[in-house]
Chain A
Amino acid sequence: MLSLILIVTASFFFTGIIIRTKSILSGRKGPGIFQPMKDIRRLLRKGSVYSETSGFVFKLAPTVYFASVVMAMLFIPFGNQPGLFSFEGDFVFFAYVLALGKFFSIIGALDTGSSFEGMGASREALYSLLAEPAFFLLMGSFALLTGQTSFADIFGTLHFTSQISYAIGALASLVLLAIALIENSRMPLDDPKTHLELTMVHEVMILDNSGFDLGMILQATNLKFAMYGALVANMFLTRGYEIYYSIPIFIGVQFLFALIIGVLESFWARFRMNHNPQFILMITSIALFIFLGVLLMLGKIV
């Protein structure tokens, strides 16, 4: 329950911090930290415009997408406290429920019959597909390392004992950061601030969404960021899981996570579309390194 409250709270600040970082780094005054949340609040109360081509799939899609992110969030533990749902192998459910949301957001985009939205949908489907193995390799390595198979048990028994384990923690954070960037279609894969539909990935998929639906989609992005941030935070908690350490660590990690994304977006240019798969597959190879590291740590191979 605590993790749920923390993630939701963090999600309120997340995009604000990214935008604030970017505006400070580019020397602009920029909007306040709460501006994104104010936008979402405004959107939630606005009316909507629906395309005449679209039907119930389009109306249902954002809701399923948002529900899938909320459901995935309920699996995230906080230290040794399991999430609302916790069972053996729950990270498979986590990944698949997110895929359910993705499925609906893609068919929602296709329901408008727009050539642009189909293009975005195709790209998003491809990128999330390529990122899929990395997450499973990462969690599989943790399962091997800890001998546990649920989020809560894995993070509850993850002890950082030897030198190599710090390397593994750092690599794992890198993988999770990259997955968060891919899942939320941020730089360097996709520029959310671009003006040309042809070069967009996620933004072009939701061109026709408006009002409450758009608000939900934007908030889902915030929640997803905070969710991956929470996963990273879980790797760096203290061994005793004392709450007076855990909460500041959680807040610090989330803040750092948003800050890093802001810095990356300020100094990185977007990749060419055909370089994106290479970037994403690189994440998979890092995940393989983690697996190798775990095998080394456990002394299974020399």
Chain B
Amino acid sequence: MEISGWLSSTWLVAIAAIVAIPVLKVRLKSWFATFAILVSSVITGAFAIMAIKSNGLETYLYAGRFFGEIPLRIDGLSAWFILIVNFTSLMGALYGVGYMKSYHEQPRNLSFHWSLFVIFHLSMVWVCMVQHSLAFLIFWEFMSLSSMLLVMFEHQKAETLKAGINYLIQMHLGVALLTVAFIWVYASRQSFDFREIAFFFDNNPSLLLFFLFFAGFGIKAGFIPFHTWLPYAHPAAPSHVSGVMSGVIVKMGIYGILRVVSYLSAGSLLLIGEIILTVSVFSALYGILNASVHRDIKKMLAFCTIENIGIIGIGIGMGMVGKSTGNPYIMLAGFGGALLHTLNHSLFKSVLFFAAGNIYKMTHTRNMEHLGGLIRRMPFTAVAFLIGALAIGGLPPFNGFVSEFLIYSGLIEGIKSSSPEISTLMIMSIAGLAMAGGLSLITFTKTFGVVFLGNPRRQTAHEPLEVPAIMQAPMILILALIVAIGLAPGLLLRPLMAAIAPLGLTGGVSEPVNSTFSLLSSVGFASGFVVVLVVILLLLKKFITREAQVDVSPTWGCGYIAPDAGMQYTGKSFSKSLAKLFSMVAIEEKKYKEISPGNIFPKKRTYIARYNEFFETMIIDKALRWMLSFFNLFLFIHNGRIQTYILYGFFFILLVLAGSVLNLF
């Protein structure tokens, strides 16, 4: 069979799954869906690996007279994203098998959910392969709609519905922008093939078109100010869906941006690269700052996704600057760091979302202030979350450090550039990235400390227990990869090079590749040495203190002898001084009544404080309100009286009549 035949057969698998899932027993639905995802992952994954080894595959799929020949191309970039999508979706489905067990009394809802999951996975894979504007938009739409419906699994909850609709609207804003952009190219080149975009960029001023693409894909990716859907959609979705959404669906936005970047002409790279770099630094800082003040675990993780998208964007912008200045080191570190961070983020963010799912399943709350001391009840989840937190904080010896290091090394190389603007931009980006790193330290020490350490803050309905092995298995697999990439990053360099090739780093630049390889090996070695050092010190401690006495007593209460779990430091208070320092961005909203002077005796009181998001409350909501009040001026037209509406029709007919009589049209 030909390549196109094999690839099309994945849709047969999906259709088979959609037909079979509703009639299967409730227990088998999830397994069958996972199996279908596995089959299409194996098929597409095999081609992706072939593409990496052989400099890309190309085939055409005839799809009727309207579409014509649809080009399917798998180059290194597509292959990299296809492999990430396959792995993360597979792990998500496997985790979902265990996670969705508690919903077995809703078989119809489950059939719908799992059928959509299969479509969702396949549409993402096809988005990476199709290079035909119309077909691309169709798969893109499949992906958005299926993920929207996946988010709305608990559709009986009002907030879930609201999050789903918010997501739907924002995604369609994105699609509208992309459609305009593609039509623009089509109108100028008369072809839907992606390659025409490159010709367009070569022959026309490219800034406006690029920013149409950037805004369209940026809404998916979650760059500020296009990020407002993330903090609603991620908490509303079931955890395996949030893991996959945060892990890969936002990366489709990154894929789109990189694809368009690969078509840009050399002249416009520098300015656009600098703009992307700046936007990304602010995305990273803004995302993680909001993450550090929020107390809903999944909302925190959603904001943290914005930070990581920012870090990936820093890599992309830097790579473009490197390309335009002809420095292969910066280019390799930039694009390579961005792609590696894409992979890394999909790994640790899935683990973190799965751990949040474990917590939610066992305690039915996402509010970290109600939790505490879970490490004793759920030790596996705690360790998994800890490793995920260290990795996402970019700390050695885990994988997040490797990609951040690569980006840092590119930025440092960029400082040495001959132009003072680039030097300044790069050093400011370094400072911003360092700040974001410090903020993520606060965010994750807070979350881990408040949720897993100390004493339980509230009695839960039933004692939380560790999740079953079926939910642990995918997490263990991902954790193994996290550690492996952290300790032996050099192994990934070859597929990474293949993935960068479409972005313009071609053969004949073996010198930067070799030096990056040895650099990554040194980093891996040093990371490994940290682990060795810890082990040596632990053994030393054991040896020296082998005869020392060990006592157990209550925590030192500084003289106070009746401490209580409610007196532990809360997540809110942990980040309070930070939030105060950045109060212009992290806007706190408090609701309480002042105690009046006559009020002597204590009464039951309520105090509500929450953090509002700057962009949403200060910009988008305000703009919407202005828009509404403007449109309200025309309320007299839309007044709800049928008589008037009939009159409008009459007016219109008169208008047409008069127009044709007077030859106006």
Residues of A in contact with B (beta carbons under 8 Å apart): 44-55, 57, 60, 63-64, 66-68, 70-71, 74, 85, 87-90, 92-93, 95-97, 99-100, 102-103, 106-107, 110-119, 121-123, 125-126, 128-130, 132-133, 135-137, 140-141, 143-144, 147, 149, 197, 207-208, 211-212, 216, 273-274, 277, 284, 291, 295, 300-301
Cβ contact within 8 Å between A136 and B430: yes
Cβ contact within 8 Å between B530 and A97: yes
Task: Determine whether B555 belongs to the interface, using a CB cutoff of 8 Å to chain A.
Answer: yes
A95: which B residues are within 8 A, CB to CB?
434
Cβ contact within 8 Å between A136 and B431: yes
CB closest residue in chain A, given B578? A126
A100: which B residues are within 8 A, CB to CB?
390, 395-396, 530
B581: which A residues are within 8 A, CB to CB?
126, 277
Interface of B is mostly: helix
Closest 6 CB pairs of A and B: A118-B569, A110-B449, A129-B438, A113-B454, A47-B549, A133-B431
Cβ contact within 8 Å between B555 and A67: no
Interface residue stretch chosen among B49-57, B156-164, B204-212, B536-544 = B536-544
CB distance from A36 to the nearest CB of B (A): 19
Residues of B in contact with A (beta carbons under 8 Å apart): 372-373, 375-376, 386, 390, 393-396, 401, 404-405, 408-409, 412-413, 415-416, 418, 420, 423-424, 426-427, 430-435, 437-439, 441-442, 444-446, 448-450, 453-455, 515, 518-519, 522-523, 526, 529-530, 533-534, 537-538, 541, 544-545, 548-558, 563, 565, 567-569, 573-578, 581
A121: which B residues are within 8 A, CB to CB?
445, 449, 569, 574
CB closest residue in chain B, given A87? B522
> In the complex, A274→B538 CA distance in Å?
38
User: Can you offer 29 A-B residue contacts whose CB atoms are under 8 A?
Assistant: A47-B550, A66-B537, A70-B533, A71-B526, A85-B522, A88-B412, A88-B519, A96-B405, A99-B395, A99-B438, A110-B448, A110-B450, A111-B449, A113-B454, A114-B555, A114-B568, A117-B569, A122-B573, A122-B574, A125-B441, A125-B574, A129-B438, A132-B435, A140-B431, A143-B412, A143-B416, A149-B409, A207-B556, A284-B431
Q: Which of A85, A143, A216 has the most CB of B within 10 A?
A: A143
Cβ contact within 8 Å between B434 and A44: no
Cβ contact within 8 Å between B420 and A300: yes
Number of A-B contacts (CB under 8 A): 259
Cβ contact within 8 Å between A48 and B393: no
Cβ contact within 8 Å between B450 and A140: no
> In the complex, A96→B555 CA distance in Å?
30
CB distance from A43 to the nearest CB of B (A): 11
CB closest residue in chain B, given A140? B427
Given known pairs A63-B534, A92-B408, A128-B438, the reply for A85 and B529 (CB within 8 Å) is: yes
Identify B523's interface contact among A50, A54, A87, A128, CB under 8 A: A87
CB closest residue in chain A, given B432? A133
CB distance from B478 to the nearest CB of A (A): 20
Cβ contact within 8 Å between B530 and A52: no
B434: which A residues are within 8 A, CB to CB?
95, 132-133, 135-136
Interface of A is mostly: helix
- List 5 additional A-B contacts (Cβ < 8 Å) besides A110-B449, A137-B430: A46-B548, A53-B555, A60-B538, A103-B444, A107-B453
CB closest residue in chain A, given B410? A89
B573: which A residues are within 8 A, CB to CB?
118-119, 122
Identify B555's interface contact among A60, A89, A208, CB under 8 A: A208
A119: which B residues are within 8 A, CB to CB?
569, 573
B420: which A residues are within 8 A, CB to CB?
295, 300-301
CB closest residue in chain A, given B333? A89
CB distance from A51 to the nearest CB of B (A): 4
> In the complex, A216→B435 CA distance in Å?
28
CB distance from A283 to the nearest CB of B (A): 12
CB closest residue in chain A, given B536? A67
Cβ contact within 8 Å between A115 and B550: no
Cβ contact within 8 Å between A141 and B427: yes
Cβ contact within 8 Å between B552 and A50: yes
> In the complex, A77→B453 CA distance in Å?
39
> In the complex, A107→B450 CA distance in Å?
9
Cβ contact within 8 Å between B430 and A140: yes
> In the complex, A197→B569 CA distance in Å?
14
Given known pairs A55-B376, A133-B434, the reply for A144 and B534 (CB within 8 Å) is: no
